[in-house]
Amino acid sequence: MKRFSSIFLICLLLFSTKIYSQALKVQHDLVVAKDGSGDFRYIQDAINAVRVYLPKPITIKIKKGIYKEKLEVYSTLTNITFVGESLDSTIISYDDFSGKGKMETFDSYTLKVLGNDIKFKNLTIENTAGRVGQAVALHVEGDRCVFENCKFLGNQDTIFASGENSRQYFSKCYIEGTVDFIFGSSTALFENCHIHSKTDGYVTAASTPKWVAYGYVFKDCKLTTDKAATKVYLGRPWRDFAKTVFINCEMDSHILPEGWNNWGRPETEKSTFYAEFGSKGAGTNTQNRVKWSHQLSEKEALTYTKEEIFSGKLLTQYQDFWSKTPSLKGITNVRDTSYSNYSALKNSLKTHPNATLVPEKTPENVIEERNIVFANTGTRDLQLDAFYPKTKSKKLRPAVLIIHGGGWRTGNRSQHIPLAQRLAALGYATFTAEYRLSTEALYPAGVHDLKAAVRWIRANAKKYGIDTNKIASVGFSAGGQLSALLGNTNNLPKFEGNIGDLKHSSKINAIVDIDGILAYIHPESGEGDDRKSTSAATYWFGFSKEENPELWHEASALTHAGKNTPPTLFLNSSVDRMHAGRDDYRKKLDAFGIYSEVHTFENSPHSFCLLSPWFDPTVEYIDTFLKKVLK
């Protein structure tokens, strides 16, 4: 009894300590000092101590010193101002870079800011990795973030100013770099800033979303150079609708007469918006600028006020569409485990008593690698599992990305490990990837994740012996819908996102759709019935189909099917609504002479592909189809 009492008291103490530590989260001003004279010696410790969603603003004062820290201001933190004691002697420094271990560009930051209403003043933020490729000093995705009298030191990719609907303001800052050293998707105003090129390269690489009215705007800035830099472009488009404008800026002779570069993609000349007004200095030979750039009139330039840029206005054709606010009630950040192979078996046994679960079993000729990080969302890692033949072959093998189902809300990548194992035994390199579900993020986040997985597969093709022209997507239920959407949105920037490896293509060469719909809004579809409770699709989009039918159509593979659609295999159960839009989709493919085939398992449950006796013929159909179309 005495021993039990002791254990109970220890547990109670630990529990009480946890509650007490939460209660101690501060909401008052703090001081950070390396010499111990402040509240904290390390900046991250001060950040970690602050209460989430602060009800009123606080200031964190940072005394002089070089703080070698990799910092993150989390998305749950708001209303914080960080003030350095002195611009040149209060330095935040780190040296990560893309390619260091498994690190990618978006992991290489010195300072990452995800929270809204965050301000930095009188600070130097540097990445000291050197000229080793992408090495980010500042990674900011928060909205209404301000940087005043700060220095940003680096080389390639110094500042990642991003967040598709985020706004950031840089005032009286010094920014230096080499290539694409200001890049990203946010609306950002740089006012009275000093922009310094250290080598030949590109100042900006905007990825402005199509619907955003402003991208990067530079007003009253000075563009200078080291002697080593003589050929610098003002910008090139990271994504097709990049918007960058320079107004009343002084440019040295390192700025090339043509001014802008299309990044080897002539089609972007029609979709980007690159403009200037009042440029002065040796680098402002505007008469020789590329013909597809613009010179603003005085009247147009006057519209670029701080208030207008940060108003959040969208391009006219998107105002009605995007002014609607999605519901976030489905984002619980709690994993939904309601659908699994076992729950699928339990439900199927009610009508199919002979159904059995297909077990995981690693074939002798297959290598497995689990929990591989393929991208980072900015808040967490995304993982996949790899399965591939042990035997090395002179002939490169096809790859298969397998996408799990679960109504875009539940399920996980382990669902199809038996399928991945079996296909790997047949000579394929197979990958089961996770993606953000509607409990964590709204559409199109999950699509962006899967596109990143495909790019990762291509980036690692050599390791797994993959033919990069033979990559198929295979998905079941919601995963089948996503498999079809991936293949039908090849080379459409809107669906790419900006996570993971961005150097490789996300192109899908063949589609396998196992009982996944092709159209959300369709006479055959049962999606979007919210009368009794919120439907899975409504959670996925944050809108009902009545509220935002355009979004539902946008996410439907049928909408995009056409001359560039890959060959498609449909494997269907006897549940008719699970192939909504399939026949219309096939008609589109027939019109362009694109191969497709359908196999229906009569009297089968929706989850047939997870169960025997349907599993083996499912594998056989997939293998036969892929051998036919990926020759």
Q: Is 540 exposed, middle or buried (0-12, 13-18, 19+ CB in 10 A)?
A: buried
Q: For residue 95, indicate whether it is catalytic.
A: no
Q: Return all residues near 509 (Cβ < 8 A) that are at least 6 apart.
A: 469, 470, 471, 472, 566, 629, 630
* Rounded CA separation 263/268 (Å): 9
CB 182 within 8 A of CB 161: yes
Task: Tell whether omega for the bond before 398 is within 30 degrees of 0, i.e. cis.
Answer: no
3-class DSSP state of 369: strand
- Count CB-CB contacts under 10 A for residue 624: 13
Among 127, 130, 129, smallest CA distance to 151 is for 127
Q: Is 31 exposed, middle or buried (0-12, 13-18, 19+ CB in 10 A)?
A: middle
Q: Which of 180, 449, 513, 515 is catalytic?
A: 180
Tell how many helices (H) and how many strands (E) occur in the chain.
15, 34
Among 165, 167, 201, 207, smallest CA distance to 183 is for 207
Among 630, 162, 194, smallest CA distance to 423 is for 630
Q: Is 7 exposed, middle or buried (0-12, 13-18, 19+ CB in 10 A)?
A: exposed
3-class DSSP state of 226: coil
Annotated catalytic residues are 180
